[in-house]
Amino acid sequence: MQFSIMNTHHEIYRRTDRYAGWPANYGMWVWDNEIVLLFTSGYPDPNGGFHARDRNHPLVTMQARSTDGGDSWSVTEAPLRFGTGLGTHEHMNQAIVDSLEAVKFESSSGTDFSDPNLAVMCGKTGLTAGSKSWFYTSVDRCRTWSGPFEIPMFDQLGIAARTDWIVESAESATLLLTATKPDGGEGRVFACRTEDGGKKFRFLSWINSAPKGYEIMPSSVQLTDGSILTTVRCRGSRRDDCWIDLYKSAGDAKTWEYLGRPVPDTGDGGNPGSLVELNDGRLVITYGSRKIPYGIFAVISEDHGVSWSNPIVLRESFGNHDIGYTR
């Protein structure tokens, strides 16, 4: 398959005294020409390690909004309870984590998932044993948020939620989550479901109960035949042995089959895929490559994920491996 793509680049947030990134950990929602994107912002430290962030300062959740299809953006601190440090505990020193306000969960009265202005976003405290997760909801296009609402532990040592919801009806939604492995390390992906608007959840299935390295950060779409496709970020025994795998459920998220490896190499540390279905039925996975030459790429499938194109360059990076995550 050969494709050509015309793409444009618009700057959403840039401050020389800040470190920002990881929108895949939060979420992006689109209503016609209105787009809302959440990400995190902290302080830079060139000696900060794999990520050049200053671990001695808290990271703050930010919210960007465009009303002209992405040409221009306004950015504010996200109007969330417990937004400071949301999803970034592993990027702050323990003293900073300990200074954060303890998350207090609300009781959900149920959410109408069919609301056209709905947004649902997940949060977490960490990646390994002891990590807890929750979600927020908005029914006014992210102008206000309700929550946090607790996600059950499902008898796991830790749950590390990023936003990956499939809405099925006004009260039913399937949620793909990452849990720890039995040794407490990250991770493996499972599906759960709510059938009462998010008040309760039940475990459905593991996508792969025993990955050799880890499988984390699912990104899912539901096809017109009801089947679910999910990409997962994978890592083997070494930090530079990373890729993206694709799984399919034709059994209501209760059983899964392995479809293949649309992205065989994502470089040092790896990178998650962001899976979407276009209006014409084609599937696209965007991802960052943390191997030289660094950049943002896409692969396209015209046969529901059976085969994939060669990588298409969306953005060439002249920086380093720390190019963030796509949404």
pLDDT, one tens digit per residue, over 132-178 is: 999 999 999 999 999 999 999 999 999 999 999 999 999 999 999 99
Check whether 1 has a pLDDT greater than 70. Answer: no
Q: What mean pLDDT is predicted for residues 47-71? A: 95
The answer to whether position 66 is within a domain reads: no
**Domain for residue 122, yes or no?**
yes
- Work out the percent of the chain whose per-residue pLDDT is above 90: 87
The pLDDT of residue 287 is above 70: yes
In a domain, 14, yes or no: no
Which pLDDT score is estimated for 196? Answer: 98
Q: Give percent above pLDDT 70 in the chain.
A: 98
Confidence of residue 319 (pLDDT cuts 50, 70, 90): confident
Mean confidence (pLDDT) of the chain = 94
In a domain, 5, yes or no: no
pLDDT over 90 (residue 322): no
Distance CA 109, CA 146 (A): 11
Q: Report the pLDDT value the prediction gives residue 193, as an integer from 0 to 100.
A: 99
Per-residue confidence (pLDDT) for residue 317, from 0 to 100: 76
DSSP type of residue 84? B
Residues 6+ apart with CB under 8 A from 327: 23, 24, 27, 28, 37, 274
47 — pLDDT class (breaks 50, 70, 90):
very high
pLDDT of residue 320: 84
Query: Into how many domains does the chain fold?
Result: 1
The per-residue pLDDT for 68 is: 97
Q: Is 282 strand, coil or helix?
A: coil
Instruction: Please indicate, yes or no, if residue 40 is contained in any of the structural domains.
Output: no
pLDDT computed for residue 261 by the predictor: 98
pLDDT at 272 over 90: yes
CATH code of 278's domain: 2.120.10.10
Maximum C-alpha span of the chain:
52
**pLDDT tens profile 236-256:** 988 889 999 999 999 999 999
Task: Identify whether 294 is part of a domain.
Answer: yes
Residue 42 lies in a domain: no
Q: What's the rounded Cα separation, in Å, for the pair 175 and 17?
A: 36
Q: How many residues does the chain have?
A: 327
Tell me if 147 is assigned to some domain: yes
Reference 286, options 62, 24, 88, 12; nearest CA is 24
pLDDT at position 197 is 98
What whole-number distance in Å separates Cα of residue 193 and Cα of residue 78?
Answer: 27
d(CA 122, CA 128): 16
DSSP 163-214: --EEE-SSS-EEEEEEEE-TTS-EEEEEEEEESSSSS--EEEEES-S--SSE
Look-up of token digits 């592993």? 90
**What per-residue confidence (pLDDT) applies to 318?**
65
- Asked whether residue 3 carries a pLDDT value surpassing 70, the answer given is no
Q: What's the average model confidence in pLDDT over 216-220?
A: 97
Could you list the residue range(s) of the whole structural domain that residue 296 is in? 85-316
